[in-house]
Structure 1
Amino acid sequence: MALQLIQTLAVVIGVAFGLAQLRQLSHQREVQAGLQLLAPLQTPDSAETMLLIHGLPENLTGAELRQRLGEKFRGTLATLALFESLGPIVARGHVPIEMYAEFYRGPTLLCWRKFRRYIEEERQGGWPMLFEWLQWLAERMEALPQGGNDIPAHQRFSSWKSSKDYPRLSIPRQ
């Protein structure tokens, strides 16, 4: 009887240890994914392109975008393509939507607002799936609760003392 109890206890402890290891592995995967998510859009060229996009008025036609941006038009499309490539990664759950939103909520919404008319024109012209994942991400970003991500980090995390404070401070306030 005592031996059976010890064996059962050993199995329970083994399962608990295994579950803890899986949880730690999942966390490590999220951290790694977050770091990889930063790379393509954290270059000087990407920063310059985002400033160009920010400076554009909304609702420009494709012709107006080409005229305003000239040779930089291709670079702006490359930036939109980066967001497009992140959509399936988020949809598959490889990067949690909350993590994506912390990094790219603003830029995603900005790109969608500035290029929406152009994208819709191109879709009507025969490219129906152009930047479909950018649109999907923008719609997800718009659907997120207002609050946490709309407060600048220097204000939202002003009482931060350690990484243990992160969950409490990152919760969207309503």
Structure 2
Amino acid sequence: MTDLATVSSLVTTLAVVLGVIFGLIQLRQANLGRRDHAAVDIVRTVQTQEVRGAVGRILALPDDTDPDRIRGDPELLAAALAVDSACEMWGCMVFEEVVDHKMLDRMVGGWIRGTWRRLRLWVESERLNNRNPNVGEWWQWLYERIEADPDPGKTMGAHISYRGRSRQR
């Protein structure tokens, strides 16, 4: 009888352990899938004519552009608002861990840095004028995050930093 009880206990323990392992594998796969879907969402956002055109307009400006210049040009203001909207969304996605900040940095980090440097005075002015500290909050947070901990490819370029490497699953 003891042998049967021992075998039964071992089988039960093994079943529980295998169930936990299976659950962890499924969770990992779900997280990878979520990450991949988030990357696709970023690409879709970037691929819109509106966002690409807006980023192009903003990147043509000098750093720390006068906020009145932005407000005084309806097309420039529309571009600034489109960029703000995209960067706010990306910042929230990173904060909520839907997407890794280094992956986002690889994909659109140059845009985030460049547009923030050109529009930060406008964002700060909008916060004061509207008495709303939330204007551009996630964009600034994201900018500071990727500056503090950039993807390795940003220093020397991905073509050098990642030479001979591919993404590991």
Q: What is the TM-score with the length of structure 1 in the denominator?
A: 0.81
Instruction: Report the counterpart of residue 25 of structure 1 in structure 2.
Output: 30
- 2:103–2:151 CA contact under 8 A, matched in 1: no
SS in 2 for 1:166: coil
% identity of equivalent residues: 32
**1:102 is matched with which residue?**
106
For the residue of structure 2 that corresponds to 1:56, the secondary structure is: coil
Gaps of 5+ in 1: 168-174
Residue 124 of structure 2 is aligned to residue 120 of structure 1? yes
How far apart, CA to CA, are the structure 1 residues paired with 2:139 and 2:148? 14
Identify the residue that residue 44 of structure 1 maps to in structure 2: 49
Extract unaligned runs of 5+ from structure 2. 1-5
Which position in structure 2 is the counterpart of 1:153? 158
One-letter amino acid of the counterpart of residue 110, structure 1: G
1:126-168 superposed Cα distances (whole Å, 9 cap, x missing partner): 33321111111111111114733333233333324xxxx325x
Aligned residue number for residue 79 of structure 2 = 75
Change (3 A) 1:91 1:152: same
1:146/1:104 CA distance change after superposition, 3 Å: closer
Equivalent position of 2:95 in the other structure? 91
**Worse overlay, 42-51 or 106-115:** 42-51
1: distance between equivalents of 2:104 and 2:152?
Answer: 16
Do the aligned partners of residues 105 and 60 (structure 1) sit closer, same or farther apart at CA in structure 2, a change above 3 Å counting? same
State how far apart, in whole Å, the 2-side matches of 1:155 and 1:35 are. 25
1:104 deviates by: 2.0
Residue identity in the other structure for 1:73: L
Q: Based on CA coordinates, which of the two structures has the bigger radius of gyration? A: 2
Cα RMSD over matched residues?
A: 2.1
User: How many angstroms apart in 1 are the aligned matches of 2:33 and 2:75?
Assistant: 41
Identify if the C-alpha distance between structure 1 residues 88 and 145 changes in structure 2 by more than 3 Å, giving closer, same or farther: closer
Provide the residue aligned with 1:172 in structure 2. none
Partner of residue 60, structure 2: 55
The 3-state SS of whatever aligns with 1:47 is helix
The Cα shift of 1:122 comes to 1.9
Number of matched pairs: 162
Q: Which stretches of structure 1, 4 residues or more, deviate above 6 A after TM superposition?
A: none
Whole-Å separation in 2 of the counterparts to 1:121 and 1:105: 24
Per the alignment, do residues 70 and 145 of structure 1 end up closer, same or farther by CA in structure 2, a change over 3 Å counting?
A: closer
